[in-house]
A and B are shown apart, each in its own frame.
Chain A
């Protein structure tokens, strides 16, 4: 079945040219008036990491949907430039909606051809939060949000990341090594510099710090501060916290549209969603309605088996939950 693929250029913020790829279902195949809109995936462009968006497009165009993937300003083949910054600050800018204006351009273009379709915004990681933040500001109705590995925290170089990894994930990771403590091959690898020492230490460090946090105050070592009488500030940074922009957007999206949030259970973001967001902002039934977990999947849904499961979940949700857009 031959699919139709079209390269699209459309205006973005400040007149930059943005680039997208539009996939239409085959003329002689099934037809559904559903339009998926996706942009970047984390820090990768419109293909997504491991070609996940390409595979999503294959899956849903084969089922009669239309899929539009585009590069926001500064990414992929679109014009524009993203300012130089450390990774955590780049994540912060994405989680604060830096690509909203690029989505506006995409929406304007798509409305000229697909105004009578059900629009589904989707994405993985940074693409998920970008879609959410842009969608709630869209002047065009959004029927649903299918968001994979959506971050709920607000990143930034000013925050303390030393305790970020959730304890269940760290324990799972450390068990892998503990089970090999008396394995001669594993011991040999460890002493001959073949083990991933950075990974082992980063996990162990989280456990140590969490353990230290639980100590009675009088048993803790004094915090490092500047010398007495000096102007050096304390080195402590605030911990990562819930992104208020996400909270507001998620609330609005759930009021106006259907929302599906998919996480892998090997992704610390799932714990952040549950512990930092859902516990405080969703009832149990609300959480059960929007949340789906894919066993073994990692954060970026690298393996195609996880991608397939996610797409099938989204397909089922489309049929059962997403109603036609009202104009």
Chain B
């Protein structure tokens, strides 16, 4: 079980943080933050964190940093990064798409394994839609037989991108109500018009956006194709951690079981993180603890 470490303990034990842009194979650069134990620049275990997107990315940033520091204080190297179109990473176009995010995850997993030849395991840890992107990215290394990809860990997974986008567009329309004082479009209108023409516009405002991030035709095409029918049965078991605040773990278990045929499910009592702006108590002792225990068990 992880012993939660205070910031002072982490600093005394030591963790180094290297921040750099890494060139993307398809152009542009990925903003990466590599956190390593200060006394071991070639750790035997690594983690690749695949963050949420859009507003959830901002809300989660502090907790992901905290997770990286906690894991590195326990001897695990951690790579965090930003998707193009969401964080500091950039490409052409500079908008988010699932294919670019999946390609970057694949690339970074390979980069980690090359950079750290002594590492026996790279554990991908996904959060929210980052889980879906991570699972899609793991297809290639697993099919090519990479033994170094450890059992993925999924925090509060969002796997059905279609439902996710429709849910998030509800907030967009709530914001639009304040402007237009009436309903000017439905979520389905936004999706349809964007798929047809690349945008959905009403009186000078683009409605094909979530939390201010543009939703492109490409992203919608990717999200709508086979969104709810994906199963990842080719994978080894995955670990699913669900943050339980309102006792809905059973329902989530059922929903995920149809898509993740091999799943080790854990309902973790802890404060949610993706839907709360950070107040800088970014400790999630239970989530962190279960995560590290799962990583140790698959080592």
**Residues of A in contact with B (beta carbons under 8 Å apart):** 5, 7, 9, 17, 19, 21, 42-45, 47, 49-52, 54, 74-77, 79-87, 90, 172-173, 175-176, 179, 196, 266, 296, 298, 302-305, 307
Contacts and interface: CB of A to CB of B under 8 A. Distances in A.
A173 B175 CA distance: 11
A49 B278 CA distance: 12
A79 B213 CA distance: 28
B198 interface: no
Nearest to A186: B183
Interface of B: 7, 11, 17, 19-21, 29, 31, 33, 55, 58, 61-62, 65, 86-88, 90, 174-175, 177-179, 181-182, 204-206, 209, 211-214, 277-281
Contacts of B65: 76-77
11 contacts: A50-B55, A50-B211, A51-B213, A79-B17, A87-B277, A87-B279, A173-B178, A176-B181, A196-B174, A266-B179, A303-B206
A74 B280 contact: yes
Given A52-B212, A77-B65, A303-B205, 10 more contacts: A5-B21, A7-B31, A75-B62, A76-B61, A79-B17, A83-B280, A85-B281, A176-B178, A196-B174, A298-B175
A81 B65 CA distance: 11
A84 B181 contact: no
B88 A47 contact: yes
A85 B178 CA distance: 32
A87 B276 CA distance: 11
Contacts of A77: 17, 19, 33, 65
Nearest to B94: A58
A302 B58 contact: no
A82 B280 contact: yes
Given A74-B280, A77-B33, A304 B206 contact: yes
B280 A90 contact: yes
Nearest to B82: A47
Contact of B178 (A9, A43, A266): A266
A10 to B, nearest CB: 12
Contact of A43 (B177, B209, B214, B278): B278
B212 A304 contact: yes
B181 A51 contact: no
Contacts of A74: 280
Contacts of A83: 280
A192 to B, nearest CB: 15
Contact of B213 (A9, A50, A173, A298): A50
A294 to B, nearest CB: 12
Contacts of B87: 47, 51
